[in-house]
Amino acid sequence: MRLRQVIKRPQTELRHENPYQLLVAVMLSAQCTDARVNQVTPALFAAFPTVEALAAAEPEDVLPYIRSVSYPNSKARHLVAAARRIRDEFGGAVPSSLKALESLPGVGPKTARVVASVAFGVAALPVDTHVYRVAHRIGLVRRARTPREVERRLKRQLPSHVWGEAHHLLILHGRYTCTARQPRCAQCVLTDLCDHYRRLQRLPAPLTGLDPRQGRYFCKRCRRYFDTPVYRTDRLEVEQVSCLNCGSLQVFDAKTGCSTRRVPDYRVR
């Protein structure tokens, strides 16, 4: 995989020393950045260094340590409940199987796969928003509706012994290069393979000399200005601005001169 040449350490950026700490960090990272999680976990782990310590706590004891992450109240409840389940049903040791991990409160398929892969070497390929976006953009998968569908398609293409590494490579590429907004295509080593890059290159060049006083939009086909667009969904299921007069998609923003054409953003729905 070409990404290996530029990503020297394809591994999680969540700081942890054992499976317990990894599980807690991954649970906290849901809809939150790894950087933010890494800011709160040192104090959290100092206060609750073991599964048993966390299981003996109440959610309100945990909340002050994680208040700056997203959804702190529900995460505090899930952390304590998961720790109690591990203490009572698994002898205080974080389980290694996907089924057992998914039985824990607050642990879904993605969290279970990350913990199983990173902590226990289980062959798994978790799909988060970065993996979902990058896999679509570079054409590894096309029009997959859900993260689970992306996971299944990627697994069919890749041998199981590289699933974990592929997960980290795609995440880090999406986090630092193939970002959701304004991807750094000039720094990317995959542009010659990338469907998204090709679509960006095919976007119409900006027009000059447009007069926004005549209307918000300008149609290149019928040479008319208009303010109220009609929206059409193209073959890639992207909603596009079309001309009110002739229905063309050759529409430009009269103020910036840029085409209103959009390429798929491949967000997880």
Binding-site positions for [4Fe-4S] cluster read 178, 185, 188, 194
- Sole residue written with tokens 């469907």: 195
As a whole number of angstroms, the distance between CA 184 and CA 34 comes to 21
Alpha helices in the chain (DSSP H): 19-28, 34-47, 51-55, 59-66, 72-89, 98-102, 109-120, 129-137, 147-157, 163-176, 195-201
| Orientation of helix 163-176 relative to helix 147-157, angle to 10° | 120
Scored b (16 or more CB within 10 A) or e, 79-107 reads: bbebbbbbbeebeeebbeebebbeebebb
Annotated catalytic residue, options 8, 34, 75, 128: 128
Active-site residue flag, 110: yes
> What are the C-alpha distances in Å from 269 to residues 132, 145, 215?
10, 8, 33
**How far is C-alpha 54 from the geometric centre of its chain's CA atoms?**
29
Annotated catalytic residue, options 8, 61, 88, 110: 110
At residue 226, what is the residue type? F
At residue 17, what is the residue type? E
Binding residue ranges: 178, 185, 188, 194
As a whole number of angstroms, the distance between CA 96 and CA 100 comes to 7
Active-site residue flag, 128: yes
**How far is C-alpha 86 from the geometric centre of its chain's CA atoms?**
28
Angle (CA) 28 85 109, round 5°: 50
Q: Which residues are catalytic?
A: 110, 128
